[in-house]
Amino acid sequence: MSSFLAFDLGASSGRAMIGRLENGRLSLTEVHRFANGPTEKDGAIYWDYPQLCLELKNGLRKALAVEPELDGIGIDTWGVDYVFFDKATGKMRRWPYHYRDVRTDSPETDVWNKISKQELYERTGIQCMLLNTVYQLAAHHRMHPEDFKDSFFLTMPDALAYYLGGERTSEYTECSTTNLLDPVGKEWDWEIIDRLGLPRDVFPEIVKPCTFSGTLSEELQKELGCGPVPIIKVGSHDTASAVAAVPAPESGSWAYISAGTWALLGAEIEKPFRNADSEKNSFTNEGGLDGKIRFLSNIMGSWLFQETRRVWNETKPTPVSFAEMEQMALSSEPCRFLINPNDASFVTPGDMPQRIIDFCERTGQGKITNDGEVVRAIYDSLALYFRTKLNVLAQLLGTRYQCLNVVGGGTKDGLLMQLTADALNFPVVAGPVEATAIGNLLAQAMAAGKVGSLAEARRVVNSSFEVKTYVPDAARHAFYNSQIERFEKLAK
């Protein structure tokens, strides 16, 4: 038996999971869970990196109490964010900015004057999102050039691995989210970096997923009373880990959604795919395990529910749960109101219910009069958007999909899964919920030679975890058909 520890950090929570692999089956034990989120300071939003490091230490301590002989530790987090460190002392230069911070709101002067939006897409194959590292670094350099002197940065999961073991490298799948990588050579695109005037020497060496990366530092070994546990680079971008754990069918075409704060809808392909249509439809080419490309598009996802709930819980006398929100949606009229889930007004933290009400008024749908209508608008619009995006994916790749695998925390939302099946008119296979941690653990097992390939890893997922199949309802599908044209106009 081998046992590995996965740290899986999302935008709203993080967890530490032990995975035990025995006879081709993986079992999970959660040993630590903690909250995560933006911290506001001096008008900007940040991640509390020192606190996240403490949570890693707490998680590791709890894990060692359960499993003293760990064969590896792997870390995955969300994409695009980074931490600057001083080269000489190794100390953090500044708290890492949160990708929803608004400092990237002048892309013309920061980036596009030097390299056009279109050229950036042609070179990197990455969909244009102002939260991408390229925009963040350019804004950061304009505001705080001093951070770039005698410094280096590491992408978020690698900055956390640095805390554990001290290696100054960044992993390829996470680096692919920066918008600064050549997707074929899988290396930094120095021409973009030079044209933006960013100093080359802040950029870390890129290493492959499923590789060993030193061990736990002597300091932490002493403090925790353990040995030199190996640190393993996994698909350290959470979505790369989640996609690695899709219980995909052994043959035939399959598409996925990694559903969490974001919903990432796409397919796994062999080499980057970029043309004017994929650019127009915001499809991206991120790095996967085993040299694969994750061809996908970002959809706003559970963020819309999370932020709505946060605001209600701050302003209403009694807190509302996600289960209650689901009930509210069920008792509201379907498709009475629809939104574009990716509308720019929904990106930053704020009064989401009001923004949804404003969107509906602005687009001539009238006035939302109760909370149920707000939630219902999110549900129907996400289901319809998944359908629209899946059709575009199929057209771009010239493939027909007849099944959609949804993995991640979002699969706990049974209503969203059902409405997605209804919108698509084919089955949605939902699960596993913990796909990201599972992908992280299996990447460690691959590095350790316990699992031979990505295909074998998916076999392990298939034989270890239950999935739930949602079958479409004909009447609801017909109703969604009658609404799709209206929706697509709003979501343009």
Residues marked active site are found at: 238
Residues that bind ligand LFR (CB under 6 A): 10, 78-80, 99, 237-239, 260-262, 264, 298
| Residue 421 · residue 427 · CB < 8 Å | yes
Cβ-based nearer residue to ligand LFR, 204 or 230: 204
Cβ-based nearer residue to ligand LFR, 10 or 209: 10
Identify the burial level of 131 via C-beta atoms within 10 angstroms of its C-beta, where 0-12 means exposed, 13-18 middle and 19 or more buried.
buried
Smallest gap from Cβ 186 to ligand LFR, in A, equals 18
Give the CA distances from residue 270 to residues 106, 293, 295, 394, in Å, rounded to whole numbers and listed in that order: 35, 6, 10, 16
- Of the candidates 149, 139, 55, 56, the one whose C-alpha atom is nearest the C-alpha of residue 97 is 139
- Of the candidates 125, 129, 130, the one whose C-alpha atom is nearest the C-alpha of residue 182 is 125
Q: In whole angstroms, give the CA distance from residue 75 to residue 232.
A: 8
Cβ-based nearer residue to ligand LFR, 36 or 298: 298
**Residue 127 phi/psi, 5° resolution?**
-60, 145
Smallest gap from Cβ 273 to ligand LFR, in A, equals 18
Provide the residue count of the chain: 492
Smallest gap from Cβ 336 to ligand LFR, in A, equals 30
Smallest gap from Cβ 325 to ligand LFR, in A, equals 21
Give the CA distances from residue 171 to residues 27, 64, 82, 93, 381, in Å, rounded to whole numbers and listed in that order: 26, 25, 12, 21, 35
Q: Chain centroid to CA 399: how far?
A: 24
Cβ-based nearer residue to ligand LFR, 240 or 460: 240
Cβ-based nearer residue to ligand LFR, 9 or 390: 9
The 10 Å CB-count burial string (b at 16+, else e) for 63-99 is: bbeebeebbbbbbbbbbbbbbbbeeeeeebbbbbbbb
Smallest gap from Cβ 2 to ligand LFR, in A, equals 27
- Specify the 3-state DSSP secondary structure of 336: coil
Q: In whole angstroms, give the CA distance from residue 92 to residue 452.
A: 37
Q: In whole angstroms, give the CA distance from residue 103 to residue 314.
A: 26
What would you report as the CA-atom Rg of the chain, rounded to the nearest whole angstrom? 22
Cβ-based nearer residue to ligand LFR, 33 or 87: 33
Smallest gap from Cβ 144 to ligand LFR, in A, equals 21
- The bridge status of strand 25-35 relative to strand 13-22 is antiparallel
Cβ-based nearer residue to ligand LFR, 72 or 235: 235
- Of the candidates 171, 154, 204, the one whose C-alpha atom is nearest the C-alpha of residue 74 is 171
Smallest gap from Cβ 337 to ligand LFR, in A, equals 27
| Residue 22 · residue 272 · CB < 8 Å | no
Smallest gap from Cβ 285 to ligand LFR, in A, equals 13
Q: Token pair of 286, please? A: 């991120």
Cβ-based nearer residue to ligand LFR, 10 or 230: 10
